[in-house]
Amino acid sequence: MQQYMLTVHSVEGSPEPSAEARQKVYRDVDAFNAELRSTGAWVFGGGLHPVNTATVVRIHPGGEILMTDGPFAEGKEHVGGFWVIAAPDLDAALAWAAKATRACAAPVEVRPFQDIPPD
């Protein structure tokens, strides 16, 4: 089985969904998660707090560690959550992504993991 990361992209400053719409997303994502688990495709997943909670850690040329408040990407689009799934091939992963984007009402990016080298 190949593992894929399904990343949910959210746009900062886009209009807040209504409470009702948000409840529907919660319900739909729960149902999607349940389907992932029941078919054995689930590896890991979850939603993230907003980007204002992010901290970037990087190394200076001198070797010391520098921390900055805020997200790494300067644009308005940020990762809002992700799943790691196991699927036989890209078509299967894309089919999951189609369900994911319906459930969370946001674009979903699909990327394959590199093969894990055997021990």
CB of 113 vs another protein, minimal distance in Å? 9
CB of 11 vs another protein, minimal distance in Å? 23
Q: 26 vs 113, which CB is nearer to another protein?
A: 113
The residues binding another protein (CB under 8 A) are 2, 88-91, 93-94, 110-112, 114
Distance, in Å, from the CA atom of 62 to the CA atom of 69, rounded to the nearest integer, reads 21
CB of 94 vs another protein, minimal distance in Å? 7
Whether 54 contacts 10, CB under 8 Å: no
Distance, in Å, from the CA atom of 80 to the CA atom of 2, rounded to the nearest integer, reads 23
Q: 29 vs 97, which CB is nearer to another protein?
A: 97
Cα four-point dihedral sign 93, 30, 104, 98: positive
- Tell me the H-state helices in the chain: 19-38, 90-104
Q: 29 vs 87, which CB is nearer to another protein?
A: 87
